Amino acid sequence: MIQVAALYVETNGSYSGLSNVDLWDEDRDARLYNGPYPVVAHPPCQRWGRYWHGSPAKPHQYCQGDDNGCFAAALHAVRIYGGVLEHPADSHAWRWFGLNHPHRKGGWISADKVGGLTCCVWQGHYGHFAGKPTWLYTHGINPQDLIWGPTEQRIHPEALKKYGYEKARRIGMMAMVGGRDKTRIRNSTPPTFRDLLIGMARTVSVRTKQ
């Protein structure tokens, strides 16, 4: 089976313990990855998302894109060794690095002038607790059709009971998850989606051999 490097992943997360997966967690510092395997990259998203500046209650604590070069290194690795990079939908990193924004309804489009592709896919189709729209950037893979488009409306039963339909719909599933679990669940990669990304990365070597 083709070896793949998983970059910027949790030490004991969903990529841990998989055969033929070279794990690059925080201790190994994925910015230092220099091949030779195709990659699945999950660079940190905190400084690229809606609240890149910090908590709404205490804004402007941080600078946009201040991730110590993680996204830049991940993008470079995907372009050099092939594979796929995952980030939340509407990530400011796409604009920052000159990548085309994918269509929310799905489908692959050209991402840049060096042969990259990008798309929007909803992890809820692949087992995530919430819908979690996600942007992918790929290079050198054999692109495939995914389950395109938004997931069905998901309403937390406790929110529905407590707030009624309109507010429950508006605040979404994650609003009813408290404490540390919220971050863990939001950031987690469902096994089905993880396997999909690994499968994409493994097509890099297949294409090379053809």
Q: What is the pLDDT of residues 63-101, one digit of tens each?
A: 776 799 999 999 999 999 999 999 999 999 999 999 999
For 129-182, write each residue's pLDDT tens digit: 778 899 999 999 999 999 999 886 655 555 455 556 455 444 455 554 555 554
Q: What pTM, to 2 d.p., does this model score? A: 0.82
- Using left for φ > 0, alpha for ψ between -120 and 50, and beta otherwise, residue 195 falls in alpha
Cα–Cα distance measured from residue 112 to residue 75, given in angstroms and rounded to the nearest whole number: 12
Pick the closest to residue 5 from 91, 74, 105, 57 (CA basis): 74
pLDDT tens-digit series, residues 109-131: 999 999 999 999 999 899 877 78
